[in-house]
Chain A
């Protein structure tokens, strides 16, 4: 019974915590500019993240190591430092984009420009982390994040042509703007395969004292949670494909996102989009700030836990405070959260090989995963993900130049 409850809670938090500013923006841009044609990118990203989250959970359950801790041990300080700097910098940008997303949602609700909300939102994020307990806050924001299911309901209510939707699940070449098409595809992969998702999940497994009796629980949570989460992104793309082209819009301003559910639910649609954006970005901002503190503390061997008091983990607390301050300064300075989101998703994609490649070694090392090593299928999938991530890393910068605008 306890396991069923844990599975249910794990799936609910995965679904509620899946959608964030990056997945909403990239899916909306894909739908607005290319109809259903980029659905395959979300499906592909969803499959990749299921495998990575499952492997991160399995590593932690069997070895009691977090991913950054295991990478530091297995690959040494220099590789860890490289990953820390690269993943840390990109995660900082993503955090800032999420903070901007919360501010944009409040702008939708109040009409007051987003940069005025940077300091109050930053204070709320800090206060939630400072006062904790974070487990409760995490589950609370994830439960509230279930409001994002309204995108699935909205997509069904809009009666899309389901055979066209199904055709979009198969990769196809674009009829126009090839560079832009591939740039959005890469950004979708960056938004779907966010390192913070599997780093955060593996830390949770260690904190919740998972052992090898959780192997199946982990598998069910990873597969179900990430699949349902991807379905919400797919629903956003479908809605965008139905809502924006008739209006001649391409999602080049955040304010246009407010239209996503308007045709389906009228004024309630506006309220639902605002709530979804605000809650999902707040949840993601909390998770990413925490993930950055985890990354530093686990790699350098400091005291860390999401449920300890700040006085017991001064360096850990200082990291998330600095992250919040940097994010607040950037948003308060008026940097466009849309441009920041697009750039940070592309950079996430470009840096994926650094955080994914170690999986191939860790998940085959009996020192860490004992008899729960990857089989040939899981290894093939990881090799394909690394190959995909490497190609993506190589093409991201040229695509950013030719297709990012």
Chain B
């Protein structure tokens, strides 16, 4: 597998096909004397902005801690639970429990559901 072509930036969905975001980052472990291995995929604004500039990633992370809506950003999905298909990466997790949809859930509860007809 070509990690950049076949995994990074692909649509990430949970085991029910629910969108969780895109694969914003890949975590690679490199223990002494061993081959490097992919440990997890990352989803979240901190990883996205870190790709633009590390300082922006730090700034977004500080902002996230102040606001307190997102439990853990970046949200990490273990590599063993991810399968890459032609169109998307499927993670064997529940999207709503993973932390990747914390913003979506907060917006739904605090804003959208308060508007009639939602």
Is A73 in contact with B117, judged by CB distance below 8 angstroms? no
Chain A to chain B contacts (Cβ below 8 Å), 5 pairs: A72-B22, A73-B9, A81-B48, A301-B20, A314-B112
Bound Cα distance A78, B57 (Å): 13
Extra A-B contacts (5), CB below 8 Å, given A77-B48, A310-B112: A302-B104, A303-B18, A303-B19, A303-B104, A310-B118
Interface 1/0s, chain B 74-118, versus A by CB < 8 A?
Answer: 000000000000010000000000000001110110011101011
Is B104 in contact with A315, judged by CB distance below 8 angstroms? yes
- Determine which residue in B12, B20, B117 has the highest number of CB atoms from chain A within 10 A of its CB, and name it: B117
Is A78 in contact with B51, judged by CB distance below 8 angstroms? yes
What's the count of A-B pairs with C-beta under 8 Å? 66
Is B112 in contact with A77, judged by CB distance below 8 angstroms? no
Selected from A69, A131, A302, A318, the residue in CB contact (under 8 A) with B117 is A131
Residue positions of B touching A, CB distance < 8 A:
5, 8-12, 18-22, 24, 43, 48, 51-52, 87, 103-105, 107-108, 111-113, 115, 117-118
Is A318 in contact with B9, judged by CB distance below 8 angstroms? no
Bound Cα distance A63, B87 (Å): 8
The interface residues of chain A lying within 8 Å CB-to-CB of B117 are 130-131, 310
Bound Cα distance A310, B9 (Å): 25
Q: Is A150 an interface residue (CB 8 A)?
A: no
Is A311 in contact with B19, judged by CB distance below 8 angstroms? no
Q: Is A113 an interface residue (CB 8 A)?
A: no
Residue positions of A touching B, CB distance < 8 A:
63-65, 69, 72-73, 76-78, 80-81, 130-131, 299-304, 309-311, 314-315, 317-318, 367
Bound Cα distance A64, B88 (Å): 10
The interface residues of chain A lying within 8 Å CB-to-CB of B103 are 315
Is B112 in contact with A318, judged by CB distance below 8 angstroms? yes
Closest CB in chain A relative to B16 CB, distance in Å: 12
Is A311 in contact with B48, judged by CB distance below 8 angstroms? no
Is A302 in contact with B9, judged by CB distance below 8 angstroms? no
The interface residues of chain B lying within 8 Å CB-to-CB of A78 are 51-52
The interface residues of chain B lying within 8 Å CB-to-CB of A301 are 11-12, 19-22, 43
The interface residues of chain B lying within 8 Å CB-to-CB of A65 are 87
